[in-house]
Structure 1
C-alpha cells in the first residue's frame, strides 16, 4: 500500500508539471491542449492524455499561449470566417492594439527630381489604399483621411516628416505597419504630328468646258510631351524594421503621367497583399 501511494503521488506530481499550450478563442473560451502543427489557415491539436487530433481555424482564435511562454496573437475581422483568406500571425512584441493594422502615409511626388504638387501625393495615397483594401484579409487598413488628420494633429507636416522615425509614426497612428511611397515623373521625348488636307474644284460651262480651277487646303499640327513614370514603395514595422523596399518603372512612357500600373505591380508583390 505504501509503494502504491508513493507511485500514485509521483504520477500526480508529474501530471501537474506537464506544460500545455493554451488556445484562446475569439468568443472568450480557453482550451488547454498540445499543439501538433500550425498551417496557414488552421491549428491542429490533441487534448492532454488523448490521441485524437482536432483542428480549429485560425479565424476563430484570438491568441495562443505556448507552453514555452511565447505568445502568438491572431487578427480577427468581422467578416464570416468562410469568406476570409488565411489570417496573418503576428509574433512581434508590439502593443496589442497595433497588431495587423496598416497606415499609408501621403506619397512624395517628384517632377524632374524636384518636389511636385502635394495633391498628386495624396491621390497616390488614396489609390494605394483602394488597391490594397481589396486584398488585405487579416489586416485593418486605416483610411487616408484618418491617417492624415492624426499626422496633422501630432504636428507631423511634410516639412517635419524627416524628424520622425517610423516607430514614432506607428505610435502616433496606432499601427504595426506603415507604407511609404514616391512617385517620380520625368520628361521624356516629345512627339508631334502634322496633317494637310487639300481640295481642288473645277468649274465648267454648259458646253462642259473648263472655266476655272480653285484650290483650298488646311493643315493641322499637334505636339505631345511624354513622361517616364516610376514608383518606389517601402514598408516599415513599428520597430523601425524595413520589410519591403522596391521600385518599378512603367514599361511605356505616357502623356498623362499615370502611375497606376507600377503602383499596382509593387502592391501585388508586397508582403501585406493577399490574393
Structure 2
C-alpha cells in the first residue's frame, strides 16, 4: 500500500508538470541592410556568415554577414555588422523635419546628464562635463555606431525648444526623432556629502648649544570631503522601448568617483563594442 501511494504521488507530479505551459524565450532578431527583419534563433556565427533558424521551423539558413546590419539577441545584447543601405538621392530629407526610418539606424545621442548634489541641481557646466565624459568613452567603443557629439545634440535640442526644465515633457521617441537617432542615452548622478577625513603633520627642531635648549616646530593640517555617489544610466530606442537601465553606487568616495562608475555601466550596455 505504501509503494502504491508513492507511485501515485509521482504520477501526479509528472502530470502537474506536464500541464505547466512551456516558458517562452525571446527570439533573436536579425536586421538586414535592406531593412528586412528576420525573427528566430541564431545558431552559429562564422567568419563570413550567420546560421539562422526561423521561429517554429527547423531548417537552417546561412546569411552572409555583408547582408546583415545588426543582430539583437534574446539576451538584449546587440551586435553590429554593417551600416544600413544609403537612401536614394531623390528621397533625401532636405527640409527641416526630423529624420526618421532608416536614417535613424546606428545613430546614438547622449542627453545632458542630471547632476544632483546634496539635493540641489548642480550647475549646467557639471551636467555637460558628465555628458562629454560619456561621449568620449562611448566614441572609443562605437564600432558601427555613429555617436552624435554633445555640442550638436544640445544645439538640436535647443532649436527644437527642449530645455533642462521641460525635457520630461517629451517622450524618448520624440527625442529620437528630433535628434535623428536610433538610441538616446540619459542618466543622473546623485552625489551626497558624507564625512570629512583630516590629515595633520608636525615637525620639530631641537637645538642644544651650550646647554641652551631651543625648540621650534610647525604643524600642517588638511581635510578632505568624502562623498557617496550613485549613478543611474538608461538607454532607449526610437520606438520608446528601454534597451538598458541600471543603477550603481560608486566604490570610491571622491568628488570624481562617478567617472569609474559611468565607465563600468557603459561597458555593460548592448551598445558597447570592444
TM-score (norm 1): 0.67
**Which string of whole-angstrom CA distances, capped at 9 and with x for unpartnered residues, describes residues 39-88 of structure 1?**
5562469xxxxxxx996642x32679xxxxxxxx97428xxxxxxxxxxx
Query: Offset at 1:165?
Result: 0.7
CA distance in 2, matches of 1:168, 1:185: 29
Give the match for residue 244 of structure 1: 244
Is residue 145 of structure 2 the alignment partner of residue 124 of structure 1? Answer: no
Q: Residue 274 of structure 1 corresponds to which residue in structure 2?
A: 273
The alpha-carbon distance between structure 1 residues 108 and 196, as it changes in their structure 2 partners (threshold 3 A), is same
Q: Secondary structure at the match of 2:246?
A: strand
Are the equivalent residues in 1 in contact too, given 2:33–2:83 (CA < 8 A)? no
Report whether the alignment pairs 1:135 with 2:141: yes
Evaluate the alpha carbon distance shift between residue 249 and residue 266 of structure 1 in structure 2; reply closer, same or farther with a 3 A threshold: same
CA contact (8 A) 1:186 1:229 kept: yes
Q: State whether residues 75 and 139 of structure 1, in contact with CA within 8 Å, keep that contact through their aligned partners in structure 2.
A: no
Q: Which runs of 5+ in 2 are unaligned?
A: 1-31, 35-40, 53-59, 71-79, 85-99
RMSD: 3.0
How many residues of Structure 1 are paired with residues of Structure 2 in the alignment?
A: 206
Structure 1 residue 248: Cα displacement: 1.1
Task: State how far apart, in whole Å, the 1-side matches of 2:239 and 2:250 are.
Answer: 32
DSSP 3-state at the match of 1:138? coil
CA distance in structure 2 between the aligned counterparts of 1:98 and 1:220, rounded to whole angstroms = 59
Residue 150 of structure 1 aligns with which residue?
A: 156
CA offsets 1:108-166 (integer angstroms, 9 cap, x no match): 01101221121111111111111111222222111111111100110101011111111
Q: Do the aligned residues in 1 keep the contact of 2:113 with 2:189 (CA within 8 Å)?
A: yes
Instruction: Give 1:98's aligned residue.
Output: 104
Shift of 1:267: 0.3
Computing the radius of gyration over CA atoms, which structure comes out larger, 1 or 2? Answer: 1
Q: Give the TM-score normalised by structure 2.
A: 0.67
Moved over 6 A (4+): 53-56
Distance 1:25 1:249, change over 3 A: closer
Distance 1:54 1:241 in 2: 29
Residues 265, 44 of structure 1: CA spacing in aligned structure 2 closer, same or farther, 3 A cutoff?
closer
Deviation at residue 175 of structure 1 after TM alignment: 0.7
